[in-house]
Chains A and B, each alone.
Chain A
Amino acid sequence: MKFIAVTACPTGIAHTYMAAESLEKTAKELGHEIKVETQGAMGIENELRPADIKGADALILAADIAIENAERFEGIPRIEVPVQLALKDPKSIFAKVPNRG
């Protein structure tokens, strides 16, 4: 499957990036494609472009705060989880059934 993801945590120093790394690593293990945008202390990095969004099967939102530019993802099926789940049990995230966006 083709995933896109956004990670964001309260301070944007550690968990945003740890979660991103964890999602990328796990997707690879499970044979999925993924592109993860981080919204941390450095602002938006690895930004999801319209082309990325259009081609995605599902969006993973691993965020403890409201993310920026959320309107980009309207209509995309989504899996919303706390950031910590991406560290604790990333595989379970990919097993979830996405909600209609």
Chain B
Amino acid sequence: MPEVYEYRFVCPLPNGVHARPANSLEQVVAGFTESQVWLTNLSNQKIANARSILSLVGADIKAGDECVLKVEGDNCGPAYREIVRFLKEKFPSCDDVLPPAAFMSEVYIPPVLRAAGVPMIFGCKAVSGFGRGSVVIVEALKLPSGLDPRETVRPEQELRKIEKAVAEHRSDITIKLGSGRLTSVESKVLEAHLSIASDVEFLDRVRCLIRQQGICAGQAIIESFAYFSEILKAAQSELIRERIVDLQDVCSHLLKKIYGSAASDQIVLSCPSVCVADNLTPSQFISMDKTMLSGLVLMHGGNTSHTVILARSFGIPTVTGIKDATILSNGQEVVVDATYGIVITEMNAQAERYYAAEHRKQEFQQRYFDDFLDKPAKTVDGVRLEVMANVATADEVLMAMAGGAEGIGLFRTEMLFMGRDSAPSEEEQFNEYKKAAEYAAGKPVIIRTFDIGGDKSVSYLNLTSEDNPFLGYRGARVYRDYEGLLKNQLRAILRASAFGCLKIMIPMVSCLEEVTYVRSLLDRIKTELDVRSLAYDKSISLGIMVEVPSVVFVIPQLAGLVDFLSIGTNDLTQYFLAIDRGNERVSSLYQSRHPGLLGLIQKIVEDAHRHKLWVGMCGEMAGQVDHLPLLLGAGLDEVSVSIPAVAAIKARCADYDSRDCRTIFERAVAAKSAGQVDMLLAEQQREPVGRPVIELSLIDLDADCINKEEAIKYASDMLYYAHRTEKPSELEQHFWQREGVYSTGLGYGFAVPHCKTRAVCAHSICLMRLKQPIVWKSIDDKPVDIVIAMTIRDGQTAGDTHMKIFSKLARRIMHDDFRGMLRSLQDRQAVLAYLQEKLAL
């Protein structure tokens, strides 16, 4: 006799029944194969099969929802009792506290945008800048191109493919779970994946689709994914919606198991677009028309992923780590603002005004940089620093030249080798390098021989996966085993060297033997080319990357073997500091300004110069404008940076005196911490001598601001246009910090926002008369129509005569006649003359 038992309970879980608790319940139920177990959510009447996580999650059970458990079957009493016992005793505590979504609260949104109240989603800043376009969702789940899902399908064969893929994927997860290296949260997530991969309802649906509709295994997976993600999307709990990502992850693994990574990589953009993807491969990125790409939104992909590095090179604003990208839909118009790590999903008039102002600022900056495009970078005292660009394709060389690069300091060739089924031929490589040489038009192009392994894997080399790939089989270490591949590449570079100025650079060198080996190979190929009477640059330079700390101590021995060195700071930093840059737990210790690392760089440059070796730097560290005094102080011959950073670095060189930089660098090497180095860098920015506190460009008698947020931004931007701050956003934040103490609305229609900050290079006063009065929260509750912003350059106030002007101004403002004049004077010249007279400037 079939029995039926029912048990009513209230969901005790604060986050509702999401995948992890569902997984626990499913595991208990799985022990009783003879019974049918159903869970009904009385609040929405959804009925779930308790054997299916997806079904349980889909019932959208939130905290406090009343539910009914129903157990049916022959002799199902024991099952019923056991499940109820679980629900009573263990279920309430089977949801761990989730890691806090820290990035949400910590994120800084410019006050103008906050006041605009536009809806936005949050992520991490990867490549700063902003762009607007229609959303193009790059589907994670795709069949290999050319595969017709309905053609000649033999259901039994397709079913076997599914069973095999599921079994393999499950065993992969089980191995990972058993590795003992996972955090408890990671383990829970993987356990949930494991259950999804064997979820009865999911697999039933896949099998059913194959049998009834005669579609192939892959298509059945994609359609099942679509079906269940629709159910999950409808859930009110955000946690449940997030499980779509888990499901997608499982499905994409299954597809890979069945078809390999042969899915199509071509992405076609037909209008200004914002690409949204779970994770974009470098080859997908390369396939896109960059003139149509306004921004990238990636759910995964850290700061150092290769797609992000490419995006930086192209200056594509990129936000990563977006959790709720599922709310974006194809064709929707969005703004990606990677400067703050946000995506605005719907614009309004106020936000439009904000971006119009930002756009003007960007154009202004571009015009300023344009002056430096054709000039060599030089410090005030005439010391040269070659500024070159990092690229990965020949086409980028052209962009780099247009962007003011004095050469290519790093041509990464891995891109030619990745994302394909076989190595590129010598001819293919020759054409690419020849094009690079020609585009550079005589300027040097440093071509790095392939650096594969580590985080860059290539299927046709059959490299096995390693526990510690960064310390493993990669870079120059693989060359002897793949000599044919290296010879092809060297031959291609040599032949292309006849068309311009090419140099060869070896990656990941840790000992001299690796260099002598490549050198001798190169000599053999030269002889071979001589025999064939093929032209090449007979004095082609050979250099190495300085990435492994051990080579730092053999520079004298390297002197006869190589012509130049280039410091690869990304790997050098992680090897020297023993920090995995991809590991979030220790990433805060990955400090480019660690005094020990700076000391190491000092040694590299000094030893190189002592032995007449040219030495450059091509890591991320070189591209950060704030580091420039350190790089100039270290005495580097060259920096190689992303294309958009070239002009900025060149422009900034002109602000520094190399002798001051040397002093700063020496003090930084002797500093106690990276924090202290930061302080040194902040201090060195000296006040330009004789800069007046107020000048015409700091007076605007017709300022168009509709609220306090805009007015403070306007003042900050005025100081930017007057070259008194390079960080208007930081300055704006300092104004707001002061406003946070109490409002600076003074009454009489006046407001005096002010701050003391290192974000300005000189004490400054700016005066704005507003087109329309705005609310400021003033002492007399009256609207404000005159804003006098006062900024004091922090760190040099004691005994400063300029400071008297501020106190004089503050005192004058208390007088009716002074305020009256500021309100009535006709033009900027008159206001300036009046202020000069009254403040005795």
Residues of A within 8 A of B (CB): 10-18, 20-22, 25, 38, 40-43, 45, 64, 84, 87-88
Residue B181, interface by CB 8 Å: no
B134 CB to closest chain A CB (Å) equals 46
Question: What are the residues of chain B within 8 A of A43 when measuring CB–CB?
Answer: 798
A35 → B minimal CB distance (Å) = 15
Q: A64-B741, A84-B742 are in contact. Are A14 and B747 (CB under 8 A)?
A: no
Known: A21-B810, A38-B807, A64-B741. A14 touches B754 (CB 8 A): yes
Distance, CA A18 to CA B807, complexed state (A)? 8
B472 → chain A closest CB, angstroms: 55
Chain A residues with CB under 8 A of B810: 13-18, 21
Q: Is B277 an interface residue (CB 8 A)?
A: no
- B:810-826 near A, CB below 8 Å: 810-811, 813-815
Contact (Cβ within 8 A) A14 B806: yes
Q: How far is the CB of B773 from chain A (nearest CB, A)?
A: 19
- How distant is the Cα of A6 from the Cα of B813 in the complex, in angstroms? 19
Q: Which residue of B lies closest to A90 (CB)?
A: B814
Q: Please, which residues of chain B bring their CB within 8 A of the CB of A17?
A: 806-808, 810-811
Q: A11-B755, A41-B803 are in contact. Are A87 and B811 (CB under 8 A)?
A: no
A14 interface neighbour in B752, B779, B800, Cβ under 8 Å: B752
A84–B741 CA distance with the chains assembled, in angstroms: 12
Contact indicator A42/B803 (Cβ below 8 Å): yes
The reply to whether A41 and B814 form a contact with Cβ atoms under 8 Å apart is: no
B806 lies within 8 A of A13 (CB): yes
Nearest B residue to A89 by beta-carbon distance? B779
A13 close to B792 (CB less than 8 A): yes
Residues of the B chain whose Cβ atoms lie less than 8 Å from the Cβ of A88: 747, 779-780
Q: B residues within 8 A CB of A87?
A: 746-747, 779, 814
Residues of A within 8 A of B807 (CB): 16-17, 38, 40, 42, 45
Also in contact, A11 and B814, with CB within 8 A (given A84-B742, A84-B779, A87-B747): no
What are 22 A-B contacts with C-beta separation under 8 Å? A10-B738, A13-B754, A13-B790, A13-B806, A13-B810, A14-B754, A14-B806, A16-B810, A17-B806, A17-B808, A17-B810, A17-B811, A18-B811, A21-B810, A21-B814, A41-B797, A41-B806, A42-B798, A42-B804, A84-B742, A84-B779, A88-B747
Nearest-neighbour CB distance to chain B for A66, whole angstroms, equals 15
Q: In the complex, A66 Cα to B347 Cα: how many Å?
A: 46
Closest 9 CB pairs of A and B: A17-B810, A21-B811, A17-B807, A21-B814, A13-B754, A88-B779, A42-B803, A14-B810, A18-B810
Taking a contact as CB atoms under 8 Å apart, the answer to whether A11 and B797 are in contact is: no
Q: Smallest Cβ distance from B453 to chain A, in angstroms?
A: 55
- Which residue, of B790, B804, B810, has the highest number of chain A Cβ atoms within 10 A? B810
With known contacts A13-B790, A41-B806, A64-B741, A18–B746 Cβ distance under 8 A: yes
Which chain A residue shows the least CB distance to B757?
A: A11
Query: In the complex, which of the residues B754, B800, B804, B814 contacts A22, with contact meaning CB atoms closer than 8 Å?
Result: B814
Residue of chain A at shortest CB distance from B742: A84
A87 CB, min distance to chain B CBs, angstroms: 6
Taken together as a complex, chains A and B put the C-alpha atoms of A4 and B813 apart, in Å, by 22
A25→B738 contact, CB < 8 A: no
Name the contact of A18 in the complex, choosing from B756, B792, B814 (C-beta under 8 A): B814
C-alpha gap A14/B754 in the complex (Å): 8
Having A14-B790, A14-B806, A18-B810, one finds 19 other A-B pairs with CB under 8 Å, namely A10-B741, A11-B792, A13-B754, A14-B752, A16-B810, A17-B806, A17-B810, A18-B752, A18-B811, A21-B815, A25-B815, A41-B756, A41-B806, A42-B797, A42-B803, A42-B804, A87-B747, A87-B814, A88-B747
Name the residue of chain A whose CB is nearest to the CB of B788: A14
Instruction: Please indicate the chain A residues that have their CB under 8 angstroms from the CB of B642 in the complex.
Output: none
Bound-state CA distance A69–B342 (Å) is 48
Q: How far is the CA of A25 from the CA of B790 in the complex (A)?
A: 23
Q: Which residues of A contact B755 (CB under 8 A)?
A: 11, 13
State the CA gap A15–B741 with chains docked (Å): 12
Q: Residues of B contacting A15 with CB < 8 Å?
A: 810
Q: Which B residue sits closest to A87, measured CB to CB? A: B779
B286 → A minimal CB distance (Å): 51
Q: Give the nearest-CB partner of B800 in chain A.
A: A42
Within the assembled complex, what's the spacing in Å between the Cα atoms of A42 and B813? 19
Tell me if B813 and A13 are in contact (CB < 8 A).
Answer: no
Complexed CA–CA distance, A56 and B274 (Å): 71
Q: Report the minimal beta-carbon distance from A79 to chain B, rounded to whole angstroms.
A: 19
Contacts of A10 in B (CB 8 A): 738, 741
